[in-house]
Amino acid sequence: MIFAHADLNLILPELVLVTGTLALLLFDLFARQNGRWMTHILAILLLVLAAASVLAQGMGLTASGWSGVYERDVLSAVLKLAIYGVSALCLLYARPYLADRRLWSGEFYLLVLFSVTGMSILVSAGSLVTVYLGLELMALSTYALVALDRDNRKASEAAIKYFVLGALASGILLYGLSMLYGASGTLDLGEIALALGGSQPTEPLMAFGLAFIIVGIAFKLGAAPFHMWLPDVYEGSPTAVTTFIGSAPKLAAFGMAWRLLDTSLGGLSEQWGDMLALLALASLAVGNLAALVQTNLKRMLAYSTVSHVGFLLLGLLHGGANGYAAALFYAIVYALMSAGAFGMILWLAREGFEAEEIDDFKGLNQRSPWAAFIMLLLMASLAGIPPLVGFFGKLVVLQAVIESGRLWLAIAAVIFAVIGAYYYLRVIKVMYFDQSTDERLIPATDTGLRIGLSANGLAQLGLGLFAGPLLAWCVRAFL
């Protein structure tokens, strides 16, 4: 294979990430503990640089390279920017928490960066092999991240659970991919669609392949009934890691879902549309109802993730550009909200005080009105209350669902959204209406975290009031 210069330019962001990460690995090896600050800053800069390289390529660049295994299109550019941005925020939020718990090590940054590289490859995948390669790089790094606090039993248990179930999901997905290959005789996503052009979805190989792929995707996204790993892993992981695995990977999983379902299996959209409708409905029901009874904030947010995945699937199942744009918008908005919400726990957590129970937030408004206000914005946005951006995410998804003729699904979705509003309101209630009892409830003073989280919270308002540009890019991604 001859590597043309154009091919190298195509993978510029990944090149930057890989070389940068390897250099950082060496740097961190020689840096002392007090050089860790440099690792922290360099890791964030690396993500910024990767984002800049995406912009340098040009947002509108559409090309396929490396014999078709790598795709660069507007969708991959938008997703990469969002992934890098959200991951950088997660790194910013994680530092004080990790430092307090003697977990502040170079490995954290390296694993996050490798995982981000995996996501980056995944959203640019042009062939089944690239899909699997990217997915595994992303997933393996996150398994190790969950086990970062290796002496903590809960975290170790979560890591094992995550690893076993994640490997199972990867296996199922791989099985599905192999059937797809068997049915079409090619690995290229675009060619699969051509090869399958005339085949009937009732052919056993196709039907099974599709079902396995859907299950694999549902596992990775955390859609009910394949969500069982999610609450345990979210709760068990160190919160700094939960912040990361709860946000950016959802974007990558969305990219993977779209590449597999639309690019290669677009002809079967009627079949997978109905499958996704069931998954979406189950996720909305399970996620919202289970979140109602949680007392642990991390667990509550985990179940709320399941319900948001339901909304994301609602956008996806429309099977047209409008639906995909809505789902992409929702995924980006959700990743931001989720990073912010877990980031709030990091902001309040200190050594010996995890701040992960909902009651730990009691009376936050008395202690720190600003922190309470940011959390208010995040919770209201998650609940989908205008003018916050979470509302616009729900709006465009509902529009896609109604357009696809599934009015009943839209009605079910909004009713579950109202049920969901209750548990977000409960957090607001605890912060504002209850008296503070715990003296330890004082937000951390780390400047980076404070600025990052404040920006994250205010972005809920800003992106809501000016939802036009982001939505326009999401629409452009599927033109």
Contact set with another protein (CB under 8 A): 325, 365, 369, 376, 380, 385-387, 391-392, 395-396, 398-399, 402-403, 407, 410-411, 414-415, 417-418, 421-422, 425, 428-429, 432-433, 467-468, 471-472, 474-475
b (16+ CB within 10 A) / e for 67-77: ebbbbbbbbbb
Q: In sequence order, which residues have a C-beta less than 8 Å from that of residue 330 and are 6 or more positions away?
A: 308, 311, 312, 315, 393, 394, 396, 397
| Calpha distance 83→13 (Å, rounded) | 12
Give the residue with the Cβ less far from another protein, 146 or 372. 372
Give the residue with the Cβ less far from another protein, 218 or 409. 409
| Calpha distance 48→171 (Å, rounded) | 34
CB of 442 to another protein, least distance (A): 19
Give the residue with the Cβ less far from another protein, 290 or 385. 385
CB of 434 to another protein, least distance (A): 9
CB of 316 to another protein, least distance (A): 18
CB of 460 to another protein, least distance (A): 12
Q: Which amino acid is at 461?
A: L
CB of 453 to another protein, least distance (A): 18
Task: Identify the burial level of 322 via C-beta atoms within 10 angstroms of its C-beta, where 0-12 means exposed, 13-18 middle and 19 or more buried.
Answer: middle
Give the residue with the Cβ less far from another protein, 208 or 373. 373
Give the residue with the Cβ less far from another protein, 72 or 367. 367
Give the residue with the Cβ less far from another protein, 271 or 399. 399
| Calpha distance 78→83 (Å, rounded) | 9
Cβ 212 vs Cβ 318: under 8 Å: no
Helix, strand and coil content of the chain, in percent to the nearest 5, comes to: 75, 5, 20
Q: Which two tokens stand for residue 377?
A: 């914005």
CB of 364 to another protein, least distance (A): 13
CB of 388 to another protein, least distance (A): 9
- DSSP for 388-405 reads SHHHHHHHHHHHHHHHTT
CB of 414 to another protein, least distance (A): 4
Strand partners, 70: 65, 125
Give the residue with the Cβ less far from another protein, 272 or 432. 432
| Calpha distance 173→189 (Å, rounded) | 15
CB of 134 to another protein, least distance (A): 29
- H/E segment holding residue 65: strand 63-65
Give the residue with the Cβ less far from another protein, 164 or 465. 465
Q: How many CA atoms lie within 13 A of 39 on its CB side?
A: 27
- What value does the CA radius of gyration of the chain take, rounded to a whole number of Å? 21
| Calpha distance 379→359 (Å, rounded) | 15
Cβ 251 vs Cβ 82: under 8 Å: yes
Give the residue with the Cβ less far from another protein, 220 or 406. 406
Residue 70 phi/psi, 5-degree rounding, is -125, 130
- H/E segment holding residue 84: helix 74-100
What does each C-alpha distance from 266 to 12, 228, 263 come to in angstroms? 29, 29, 6
Give the residue with the Cβ less far from another protein, 205 or 411. 411
CB of 78 to another protein, least distance (A): 14
CB of 317 to another protein, least distance (A): 16
Give the residue with the Cβ less far from another protein, 57 or 404. 404
Kindly report the CA angle at 291 between 230 and 453, in degrees rounded to 5? 75
Give the residue with the Cβ less far from another protein, 184 or 307. 307
Cβ 244 vs Cβ 87: under 8 Å: yes
CB of 419 to another protein, least distance (A): 9
Nearest to 424 by CA among 378, 381, 379, 390: 379
